C-alpha cells in the first residue's frame, strides 16, 4: 500500500520567513505532485516533478524531488500572507497506467503579518 | 475550456436518504476519478474509470456507494442510504497525458452534509 506522509501538518509563520514542507512516500514512483487548496475551494496544481533531482520554482515556492530518498520538499521563501493555504503532495501510482493520485494529509500553512 | 464541472456544489440530506453527484470531465480526458475528502484530510480515491469501464473500485464501499459513467463521458456517484460518516467533499478529477506527463484537473467538489 502506497503511503504519503507530510510534515509538518500545521505551520504558523511570520511574513518574510523561510520554511520547508517535507513529503515522504513509500513507493518507487518518480511522479510527485504538489497542490494548493484554499478553504472551501478545490485543488490547484502547483508543480509536477517527474524525475530524480527535479527542481521547479514559481514565485516564492520551490519544489524538489529526491527519488532515492523518496522525499520531496516544498520551500517557501520570504513568505507573504497570500500563501496561506493547505498544501498537499501526492504521488502517482507506480503501475505505469493512470492509477490516480495518493495524497498526504496536507500541511495547513498560516502566514501572519 | 470549462474545466471539470461538478454539481451540486452543496447538498444537505438526512441520514438514510439517497444522494447523487454529477461530474462532467474535460473533453477528451478518458480517465475519470472520484475522490472523497474528509475534513482536514487529503483526498482519497474511491473509483477510477477508463472511458466507461471502472478499472479500480477497490476503495468504493459497495454496500451503499455506486457509480456509473455511461458513454465514457460524464459520471454520477450515488450513495444509498447515506450515513452520518459520509459527510465530506466529493471531488471529481480527470486526467490526460501530454508528452509523457500526466496532468490531473479537479472539479470544485460537492460538499455533502448528512444530518
Note the pLDDT of residue A53. 86
Q: With an 8 Å Cβ cutoff, is A90 touching chain B?
A: yes
Name which of B31, B43, B109 is nearest A103 (Cβ-Cβ): B43
Q: With bands split at pLDDT 50, 70 and 90, how would you rate the model's confidence at A29?
A: confident
Tell whether A101 lies on the interface with B, counting CB pairs under 8 A. yes
pLDDT digits over A35-66, tens only? 999 998 889 999 999 888 899 999 999 999 99
pLDDT digits (tens, 9 = 90+) for A66-82: 999 999 999 999 999 99
Q: What is the DSSP string of B33-99?
A: EEEEE-TTS--EEEEEEETTEEEE-TTS-TTTEEEE-GGGS-EEEEESS--GGG-EEEEEEEEEEET
Residue B72 has a pLDDT of 82
A33 shares contact with chain B (CB less than 8 Å): yes
Contact B40 A106 (CB under 8 A): yes
Q: How far apart are CA B94 and CA B51, in angstroms?
A: 11
* Interchain CB distance below 8 Å, A31 and B45: no
| Pairwise CB contact (< 8 Å): A88 & B42 | yes
Q: How far apart are CA A47 and CA A51, in angstroms?
A: 12
B106 chain-A contacts, CB cut-off 8 A: 42-43
For chain A, say whether B103 makes contact (Cβ under 8 Å).
yes
Name the nearest CA neighbour of B83 among B112, B44, B43. B112
pLDDT < 70 stretches in chain B: 1
| pLDDT at A83 (0 to 100) | 97
Considering only CB atoms, B42 lies closest to which of A40, A100, A103, namely A103
Q: How many CB atoms lie within 10 A of CB A51?
A: 10
B56 contacts chain A (CB < 8 A): yes
CA angle B106/B108/B109 to nearest 5° reads 95
Helix, strand, coil in percent for chain A, rounding step 5: 5, 55, 40
Contacts of A4 in chain B (CB under 8 A): 42
pLDDT attached to residue B100: 77
Spell out which residues of chain A touch residue B90, defining contact as CB-CB under 8 Å: none
Which of B14, B13, B29, B6 has its CA nearest to residue B94? Answer: B29
Mean pLDDT of chain B: 93
With CB atoms and an 8 Å threshold, state whether B56 touches A100.
yes
Q: How far apart are CA B99 and CA B26, in angstroms?
A: 18
- Asked if the C-beta of A81 comes within 8 angstroms of chain B's C-beta atoms, the answer is no
Amino acid at each position: 500500500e502506497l503511503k504519503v506522509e507530510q510534515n509538518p501538518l500545521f505551520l504558523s509563520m511570520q511574513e518574510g520567513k523561510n520554511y520547508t514542507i517535507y513529503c515522504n512516500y513509500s513507493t518507487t514512483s518518480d511522479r510527485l505532485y504538489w497542490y494548493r487548496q484554499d478553504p472551501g475551494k478545490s485543488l490547484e496544481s502547483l508543480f509536477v516533478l517527474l524525475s530524480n533531482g527535479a527542481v521547479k520554482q514559481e514565485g516564492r515556492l520551490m519544489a524538489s524531488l529526491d527519488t532515492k530518498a523518496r522525499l520531496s520538499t516544498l520551500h517557501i521563501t520570504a513568505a507573504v500572507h497570500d500563501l496561506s493555504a493547505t498544501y498537499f503532495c501526492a504521488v502517482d501510482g507506480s503501475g505505469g497506467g493512470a492509477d490516480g493520485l495518493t495524497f498526504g494529509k496536507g500541511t495547513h500553512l498560516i502566514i501572519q503579518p | 475550456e470549462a474545466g471539470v464541472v461538478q454539481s451540486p456544489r452543496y447538498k444537505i440530506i438526512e441520514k438514510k436518504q439517497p444522494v447523487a453527484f454529477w461530474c462532467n470531465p474535460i473533453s477528451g480526458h478518458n480517465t475519470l476519478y472520484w475522490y472523497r475528502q474528509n475534513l482536514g484530510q487529503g483526498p482519497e480515491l474511491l473509483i477510477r474509470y477508463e472511458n466507461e469501464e471502472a478499472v479500480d473500485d477497490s476503495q468504493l464501499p459497495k454496500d451503499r456507494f455506486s457509480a456509473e459513467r455511461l458513454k465514457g463521458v460524464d459520471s454520477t456517484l450515488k450513495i444509498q442510504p447515506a450515513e452520518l460518516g459520509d459527510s465530506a467533499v466529493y471531488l471529481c478529477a480527470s486526467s490526460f497525458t501530454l508528452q509523457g506527463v500526466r496532468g490531473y484537473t479537479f472539479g470544485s467538489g460537492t460538499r455533502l452534509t448528512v444530518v
